[in-house]
Amino acid sequence: MRLYIIRHADPDYENDTLTAAGHQEAMALAKRMASHGLDAIYASPMPRAAITAQYTANLLKLPVITAPWAIEVQGWSYDPIVEDGEAIPVWDIPGEILRADPALFDIDRWCYTPPLDSERIRSDYAILGGNTDALMEEYGYKRDGRRYRILERNQRQIAVFCHNGTALAMLAHLLCAPPPLIWCSFWHAPSAVTTILFEERSADWAIPRCLSACDVSHLYEARLPVQPRGIRGNYR
């Protein structure tokens, strides 16, 4: 099975919809995803994700299944840095801060280490991981420790349209990687696609393997620029 984790297209955050550029991105993305022949489409109920998903659903003539758990992660804030009047989310903490403390790159200690020592983060991350695993089990892969037991072999392809913070947290959970490592190493541009293969190399186990991360090749094909929403460094 292949799982596509997709960030919504360029957002108009104030109105929780897409910008004009975002609608163009969503159309280019839909053309790409339709070529894969998806079996199911899931989306966060937040309009910017649902609208993005609908473009793909229309081409494939599939329903968009609302996944309430795929909403953008809420309340994971890093108060020491305020931009545009709000504390930045933890997935935007500068990499030089996260990489300074080895404990933040420890799979078991990261969420007990300042500035991420937060009961809310621990609880929300566990819930998101549980919901991700519940979806995987529907498609024949049951989480067992850090592996997935094969209940049913399949070649299905599903897409989850969500948000930058949610997508990165899902990626960390599936790959058994500490989220701070993912946060300071990857960025989902608007409409970016991460492809996860549940690789079956034995009769019993499937292991999530990232075939591509944060890919925006559909934008290049459509000759559309990559919008720098959520990147806070010297992106040009």
**Residue 87 located in a structural domain:** no
Residue 99: count of CB within 10 angstroms of its CB: 14
- Which has the closest alpha carbon to 114: 93, 85, 130, 84? 93
- Which pLDDT does position 230 carry in this prediction? 85
- Which pLDDT does position 204 carry in this prediction? 97
- Which pLDDT does position 19 carry in this prediction? 98
**Residue 147 located in a structural domain:** yes
**Residue 110 located in a structural domain:** no
172 pLDDT more than 80: yes
**Residue 232 located in a structural domain:** no
Domain of 131: which CATH number? 3.40.50.1240
pLDDT in tens, 38-83: 999 999 999 999 999 999 999 999 999 999 999 999 999 999 999 8
- Which pLDDT does position 139 carry in this prediction? 97
Q: 167 with 7: CB under 8 angstroms?
A: yes
- What residue numbers bound the domain in which 154 lies? 2-77+120-221
Per-chain mean pLDDT for the chain: 96
Beta pairing, strands 11-12 & 147-150: unpaired
Tokens found for residue 184: 């300071």
Mean pLDDT, range 191-220, rounded to an integer: 97
Q: 51 with 12: CB under 8 angstroms?
A: no
Beta pairing, strands 141-144 & 147-150: antiparallel
For the chain, the maximum distance between any two Cα atoms, rounded to a whole number of angstroms, is 53
The rounded distance, in Å, linking the Cα atoms of 141 and 205 is 8
- Which pLDDT does position 160 carry in this prediction? 98
**Residue 19 located in a structural domain:** yes
Based on its alpha-carbon atoms, the radius of gyration of the chain, rounded to whole angstroms, reads 17
43: three-class secondary structure by DSSP: strand
- Which pLDDT does position 233 carry in this prediction? 80
Those residues whose C-beta lies under 8 Å from the C-beta of residue 160, and which sit 6 or more positions away, are 3, 4, 5, 6, 42, 43, 67, 70, 135, 170
176 pLDDT more than 80: yes
Helices (H), 77-161: 95-98, 119-138
Mean pLDDT, range 20-28, rounded to an integer: 98
Residue 14: count of CB within 10 angstroms of its CB: 6
pLDDT band with cut points at 50, 70 and 90 for residue 218: very high
Q: 21 with 28: CB under 8 angstroms?
A: no
- Which pLDDT does position 84 carry in this prediction? 84
Mean pLDDT, range 103-116, rounded to an integer: 97
pLDDT in tens, 119-148: 999 999 999 999 999 999 999 999 999 999
- Which pLDDT does position 166 carry in this prediction? 97
Number of domains into which the chain is organized: 1
- Which pLDDT does position 25 carry in this prediction? 98
**Residue 236 located in a structural domain:** no
The rounded distance, in Å, linking the Cα atoms of 3 and 198 is 8
**Residue 148 located in a structural domain:** yes
For the entire predicted model, the pTM comes to: 0.96
Mean pLDDT, range 144-170, rounded to an integer: 97
- Which pLDDT does position 234 carry in this prediction? 84
- Which pLDDT does position 232 carry in this prediction? 80
Percent of the chain predicted with pLDDT > 90: 94
The rounded distance, in Å, linking the Cα atoms of 35 and 97 is 41
